[in-house]
Amino acid sequence: MKLPAHIALPGRRRPTPGSDRTPVYAMVGNPNCGKTTLFNALTGLRQKVGNYPGVTVEKKIGVTYSQHGRPIQIIDLPGAYSLAARSPDEAVLRDVLLGRRADTPQPDRIICVVDAANLERNLYLVHQILDLGRPVIIALNMMDMAAAAGMKVDAAELEGELGVPVIACEAVHGRGLVELKLALSRLELPLARHRWDVPVPIAPAVAEIQASLADNDARTPLIARAEALLLLTDFDTVRVAGSKPLSARTHELLSQWRQRWVQEGTDWSAVLIRSRYDAINLLCKDVIRRPRETGPSRSDRIDAVLCHSVWGWAFFAVIMGALFYSIFSLAESPMNFIDEHVAAFGAWVKGAMAPGDLRDLLTDGVISGVGGIVIFLPQILILFFFVGLLESTGYMARAAFIMDRPMSRVGLNGRSFIPLLGAYACAIPAIMATRTIENARDRLVTILVAPLMSCSARLPVYLLMIATLLPGDVVPATTKAGIMLTMYALGTGGVFFFAWLFQRTLFPAAPQHMIMELPPYQPPRFKEILRHMVERGWMFLKNAGTIILGISIVLWFLTTYPKHPDPHATPTAQIAQSFAGQAGHLIEPVIKPLGFDWRIGIGLITSFAAREVFVSSMGVIFGVEGANDDTTPLRDALRGAHWPDGAALFTPLVCIVLMVFYVFAMQCMSTVAVVKRETNSWRWPLFQLAYMTGTAWLVCLVLYQAGRALGY
Amino acid sequence: MPASPIPLSPLCQLPAGSTGRVCELTGDDSFCQRVREMGFGEAALVTKISGSSTSLCLVNGTRIALNHRAAMSILVEQLPASAH
């Protein structure tokens, strides 16, 4: 009978260093094995989870409490198949575990989360981690998925074989969490019985580099051995900011051994991997019992349709069509409700207060500006609901699979499509998600084109222009959805065009390999989706209550002062000579060829803070103009706006051109900042700003002038 | 009599629904290492689910998508249906 790990021999136990210090656990595992779900369940945090690989791209730190109430720090690390990092997110895992990150303490203990339904492959990473010689707890997650596949995974047997605590759990359902917390609470943990020896012919190289790492790079003996094994087989040394460089002596030794193996023509990397898998297969012999006969699984049957060369595309088109139709049809009633209440509130404030600057500030600045944005909340929530559905069910990875072929035509591959699809919601997390892309060139191209995907901040601008373009409620939702879909298609088309252009001109190279795991389909986790919707909705409202409120107040001031010398001057004359009016007039010569006047120009300037600010700016500017009237819906105010010669300002052509401008222009300073951070240089964000805004101006010029020539 | 060489074909040419054994990896070192680490190395059994340009395969119970270049780099020996 095998003894459970908790009564292992005293000599193999490893106490937590510094018993009065908060122990630090690293949570590691393959992509999409449920690490973040487990992390959230343990720490009570709400980090984003999804049913596709690569949701977590940076370390996240949380705290849980032991059974005695002691705090335990947990670092959730991005998923990786191996410690031999291939992409920046995998490098984070490797560098934290090896203590190479100057900004992160080296973890005392490691929680290896493994997918029970795919145990052998998950144990490959565990096998490498056991080399580190640190106390390990294995969380055997997704036991329900293994059972559904007809597999029996014996946690006790695995614990007996490895000699470390193995806790069977289902993080999604909260099962096994108590047992896991008990294991985390233990003051002492046994070290693994690690049945694996370095293949004999490679052993001298490992010993030599291990000694150099210990002597010249201040590594402990076990870390030095693990790192030596890694360095000998890690061909691509992806580094992240903060990693400590290796010493010159270690570099020299590495180069010597690699050259020697190249000359001998021996692939020691393959030998090492095979050796590890042989050990894992031996280990799993009595741990896993598989069903004798397996037919196609539920996911296989669904994939036969959704990944089909014809039906797959048809389903993809239906999903996207349903998304845009829902944005209009389902959001109409709540939008009308908000619209009516904002207008009524504005009218009440106007009636309740004495005329003056304070009343105008509240009605024309605050209520017009913020109210104009809040109205779009229902549509933002619908967009995030759909994105959540795609992420939660596992369809996101299938969309990447379907899109691989068109992406390959422009030199990218399907892996780039997951960040791009995420950019429909917001470009900032999408740009961070490019860290999962292994090839640096593909990653940079994806970063450069991602902001062309129409994000949720463009939605208010599109909706306002469509409402101005198609007056009244008699126009069917399908027509409005069609225009919206065209704008999204234009942005997506821009992504393909510029990716193709950059691959041909800036970064010419052969197409890269793409290999990606597709997760099993899962029923949508509505609780997670709703929580994500609420978080994003709250963020949107918080933006409206802070940035947009601030900009609205400043803009109201800039449109109100200096006062016109004539107290009876028209509102238009007043705004024309205000600070904002002067700035608008300054850029009018540049934007007039696009059909935009100085008032739209003010909106273009202010919306560099965030695209949706354009709507609040229009609310303030046209609210000021109509200061003597009751608060009217913004779309009606825009429809009534005119050029000095009496011609309508927001003609259908100008509405379309303005939408197209927002499709292409880089009107988001947060994106500029995140691109600077991710590329570690100002060169690329400035290039991006120039090419996107330049394209927007040029396309709008051609469109407007051609439209005018055709009589529109 | 010497044994006749096993006919190998790229993974992308393996018909949908059939199973093959991985015999050779021909991509660059980095790609080969990642494929092997994912349990897709020499001797692994792979079942093609669908696709010709982008391939969808089943390896050790996991669905793996490979683009055309990756699938061209994995040479397999097709197994007869009775040997699955």
φ and ψ at A451, to 5 degrees?
A: -65, -5
For A36, A62, A63, the CA distances from A44, given in Å and listed in that order, are: 11, 8, 8
Q: What is the pLDDT of residue A425?
A: 79
Overall average pLDDT of the A232-257 stretch: 69
A651 touches chain B (CB under 8 A): no
* DSSP per-residue codes, A50-116: -SSTTS--S-EEEEEE-TTS-EEEEEE----S-SS--SHHHHHHHHHHTT-BTTSPPPSEEEEEEEG
- pLDDT digit string, tens, across residues A596-608: 999 999 999 888 8
Overall average pLDDT of the A685-692 stretch: 96
A32 touches chain B (CB under 8 A): no
Contact A245, A209 (CB under 8 A): no
B63·A518 Cβ contact <8 A: yes
A82 touches chain B (CB under 8 A): yes
CA distance B16 to A557: 67
Is the per-residue pLDDT at A116 higher than 80?
Answer: yes
**Mean pLDDT score across all residues of chain B:** 85
B6 touches chain A (CB under 8 A): no
Q: Which of A316-320, A350-354, A494-498, A613-617 has the highest mean pLDDT?
A: A494-498
B60·A118 Cβ contact <8 A: yes
A401·B61 Cβ contact <8 A: no
Q: What is the pLDDT of residue A437?
A: 85
A309·B63 Cβ contact <8 A: no
Q: What is the pLDDT of residue B81?
A: 72
pLDDT band for position A624 (50/70/90)?
A: low
B67·A514 Cβ contact <8 A: yes
Q: What is the pLDDT of residue A629?
A: 46
Among positive and negative, which fits the CA dihedral A94, A98, A101, A105?
positive
Task: Report the range of poorest mean pLDDT among A17-21, A242-246, A524-528, A586-590.
Answer: A17-21
Is the per-residue pLDDT at A580 higher than 50?
Answer: yes
Query: How many interchain CB pairs under 8 A, A with B?
Result: 126
Is the per-residue pLDDT at A238 higher than 80?
Answer: no
Can you say how many angstroms the Cα of residue A285 is from the centroid of all Cα atoms in its chain?
Answer: 39
A408·B64 Cβ contact <8 A: no
Please list every residue in chain B whose beta carbon sits closer than 8 Å to the beta carbon of residue A521: none
CA distance A76 to A74: 6
Chain A closest CA to B7's CA: distance in Å? Answer: 23
A414 closest CB neighbour out of B31, B63, B65 = B65
Is the per-residue pLDDT at A398 higher than 70?
Answer: yes
Q: What is the pLDDT of residue A586?
A: 92
Tokens, residue A314: 């048809």
CA distance A600 to A46: 40
Chain A closest CA to B22's CA: distance in Å? Answer: 14
For strands A60-65 and A136-141, give the pairing: unpaired
Task: Report the range of poorest mean pLDDT among A139-153, A201-215, A621-635.
Answer: A621-635
Q: What is the pLDDT of residue A19?
A: 54
Please list every residue in chain A whose beta carbon sits closer than 8 Å to the beta carbon of residue B27: 513
- pLDDT digit string, tens, across residues A64-82: 998 888 899 999 999 999 9
A404 closest CB neighbour out of B32, B38, B54 = B54
Contact A247, A100 (CB under 8 A): no
Q: What is the pLDDT of residue A157?
A: 94
B 36-75 residues with CB below 8 A of A? Answer: 36-42, 49-54, 56, 58, 60-70, 73
pLDDT band for position A415 (50/70/90)?
A: confident
Task: Report the range of poorest mean pLDDT among A229-243, A604-618, A625-639, A657-671.
Answer: A229-243
A316 touches chain B (CB under 8 A): no
A303·B64 Cβ contact <8 A: no
B54·A405 Cβ contact <8 A: yes
Q: What is the pLDDT of residue A662?
A: 97
Contact A79, A30 (CB under 8 A): yes
DSSP-derived secondary structure letter, A13: E
ipTM reported for the complex, 2 dp: 0.90
Q: What is the pLDDT of residue B2?
A: 53
Task: Report the range of poorest mean pLDDT among A120-124, A359-363, A584-588.
Answer: A359-363
Q: What is the pLDDT of residue B82?
A: 60
A235 touches chain B (CB under 8 A): yes
Is the per-residue pLDDT at A18 higher than 60?
Answer: no
pLDDT band for position A627 (50/70/90)?
A: very low
B61 closest CB neighbour out of A149, A309, A414 = A149
A309·B67 Cβ contact <8 A: no
| Amino acid at position A507, single letter | F
Give the pTM: 0.80
